[in-house]
Structure 1
Amino acid sequence: MKKIFRRIKNLALKHKIISLIFIAAIAYAGYWGYQKFGANSGQTQYVTAIVRKGAVIVSITGSGQVAASGQSDIKPKASGEITGVYATPGQEAIAGTLLAIIDSTDAERTARDAETSLETAKLELDKLLEPADELTLLQAENSLAQTKESKQKAEDDLKKAYEDGFNAVAGAFLELPGVMTSLQEMLFESTLGTGGQWNIDYYEDAVKAYDEKVSQYKETARLAYQTARTAYDKNFADYKSTSRFADFNTVESLIGETYDTTKDIAEAVKNANNLIQFYQDKLTERKLKPNSLSNTHLSTLSANTGKANNNLSSLLSIQRTIQSSKEVIISAERSTEEKELSLAKIKKGPDDLDIRAKKINIRQKEDMLSTAKQTLADHYVRAPFSGVIAKVNAKKGDSASAGAAIATLVTKQKISEISLNEIDAAKIKVGQKSTLTFDAVDGLSIDGKVTEIDAIGTVAQGVVTYNVKIAFDIQDDRVKPGMSASAAIITDAAQDVLLVPISAIKSQGETQYVEIFDQAIPRNKNGQGIPSPVPPRQQIIETGLSNDTFVEIISGLKEGDQVVVRTINGSSSSQSAQQAPSILGNIGGNRGGSGNRIPR
């Protein structure tokens, strides 16, 4: 062999030019082959999967040992009076045998109510999905028409109120001038005293010697008259300058002004009456005869008081009518807008949000019914597995409570005792199904059910664990006490749901998405990637249950969609090509390619 290599070496040294040409030919062939057959290695390739329907099962795994027959305390999950006990010591009971009943009156009522609520929710959805019938549409149209008529009537009432208000103002100014004239004459003319003394001063001087309070009454009457006179003069001028056909705001302002003026005049009349009545009272107390003209003044003031009060009532009623009509108009406008939208919605039909809300409501009612049925079932205490009743701790009429054993059941079947950490144990419930496998019996799988969970955990080296007992559904003689057992306890499951491989799920912040092809690409059955001229797009999804293999898709995808489960970036192959040693050293330089990286 050494001689052969030595000959080749000598031949190459003697024929250097031929050797170089031969090596160059080999290098060119290798380069051409790479370009021909390795070109696709620079393309991004996709491994895809099809969205399909199936079942997703979530389970918790643990390990332990098989135990020989043991005993288990049968503890109710419900509380209440025991209405029947059907177990006796020594009795053989198969799984599901009724052992006792706890008063279930309330639980039955709750279950019936839950069924009714669910049925009502389904009927509401059915009714929502139905097109609006002729009666509903007609009622909505009539309701809108009535609201518009109410608004029109309120507008007519408001217009009439303004007209009545102007009439009330006009009526007031038929009487108020006479009232003001009589006030001016009885206070500021000289019909009582001598020497040109005003009547108001006469009333004061006549009784001041008897009671100086008369000066306060005089001053109050004088100031009230001046206030009334100022308001009256301005109001009367405004009235004369306002047309009956003035705008509503002007008329409303005039009504309010006249009401305030009338109050001022009524106050002036009252204070003048107080002054003159005080004058008469003080003279009468001293058996002196008042001036007879004071009686005339009091009679006039009494009449003027009635006139002022009548005008006040009329004007106040008008103001309230105007305000009420305005409020009715505003309410009618709001109601009109609301009923227009309601009618449009009836014609359009239910929107997606309403339908989704009704469906969510149905799911909530279904959950409530499921819970109610489970609660009702908890009132019927049954044997969780086959065995022999060893002891009965309760009788009819006793009070049962959750956690207090009603009976003790000795198992004929084998039980697996496994240990779980505190996080997994919190997800385990009595009654959950389990699958058991055994290291010593290859291929054997036995179904079982959780029958007991430790109430208190065991602490070892700072780790808390809980023991869980799982009863076998069937017995197999190959399984011996003390054998190691592995258990997968099913904590949740969903049937006939959309599934995708868990590797297809990506996230960005709190948003989950998958990469999807709108136009399906061919699938390589051997699991190799397939290139696509059009990259996939991101599709936001909502996920449900998941295990180590599949994820439930609640929304965002449909059955048959093609999603990316793995992206093979061509740059990795190109990089390998760059680093491969060349038989010609660095002849021709390095070659490489790159592909698009899909965000993950």
Structure 2
Amino acid sequence: MKKVLQKISGYKWLLAILLIFIGGAFYFGYGKEDASSAETAQPEISTVRKKDIFILVSGSGQVYSRSQVDIKPQVAGDGIDVLSVSVKNDQRIKKGNLIAVLDYSDAQKSVRNAEIDLENAELKYEDVKDDYEDDRATSIDKKMQKLAIEQKDNSLADAKEKLSDYYIRAPFDGIVTGVSVEAGSSVSRSDVLASVITEEMYAKVSLNEVDAVSVEVGDRAVLVFDAIEGLEMKGEVSKIDTIGTVEQGVVYYEAEISFDKGDEKIKPGMSVSAEITTDSKSDVLSVPASAIKTGSAGKYIQVVDNEKTDEGSFGNEATKSIYYVEKIVEIGISDGSSVEILSGVSEGESVVVKAPSVSSKSANPSLTQTQGLLNSVRIPGAGGGIGR
């Protein structure tokens, strides 16, 4: 009997040790898991600060020359030979510079004939004048012959002007492109010998109908080019379509953007992307867009109330409670990630961007100031914390 009691007593000790072991494992395992959950369940806090806010819309398109003229022969006839070509593609030229010379032999003959006709008319006038002095011609004869001189002089001027058409010159300062002839080529009046474009370029970009309504003439833009890595140009919206274009059921509007300055690397036809600033504010109070909440009284922000922060204890761990107040705010412009604050909060205040677990004592956003508990954070090994 004594041995039986000793065995039962031994089992009690084993059972007690086992229960202590299980309890300790449960306590420490639960505590660590709970502490880990508390650490990961932190609210996301940001600060009210000043910054520049820009509202941008984007579009893509191509580069164009401000002006382009196709150079064609101005002389009548087909099969006119090209005597010489004085330019090449991408060459910069000035107004009046020679581009090409056509076979002018017939036109030059016409000029010589007109010169001879004028000389004959002048000689005849001298004869009529002598006859008039000898009373062998009347004053009318003299006037008629003088008129004949003027007519021959006009004919000579016309012949010289036609001759000049065989010398093809640049109509304005620009760049030569599309040279299609060379010495010995045969051309007609409808053929394009070359084109001259102005050095002034502009971009034409397409905007969707939502973005287009916010773009105005005078808006500033930044442009980048697919073919020119690292080049960034600034410009200004100079024109925007008043009537949209429908393509495959989608409406878009084209905006023209003038460059502030030129760059010889930019060529017509290049692909371009543009960011247009439709509105901007400098050095204004702002918060992340996700910090703005909406209630029955309007927009509000949860502001961390430092005066209501406290700490307690949980076993050998400290717990920290963070409180907030809800403040009604007036907002301005937004770029999608930040929002301008016109009134309601001050620079430097901490605001709640995201609260994963909020237990509010009075979460009615219609109140201008509501106190709530964001969460309780357990800090392992802190033992009780520091009081305020």
TM-score, normalized by length of structure 1? 0.31
Bigger radius of gyration among the two? 1
**Structure with more of its chain in helix, by fraction:** 1
* Higher RCO, 1 vs 2 (CA within 8 Å, ≥6 residues apart): 1
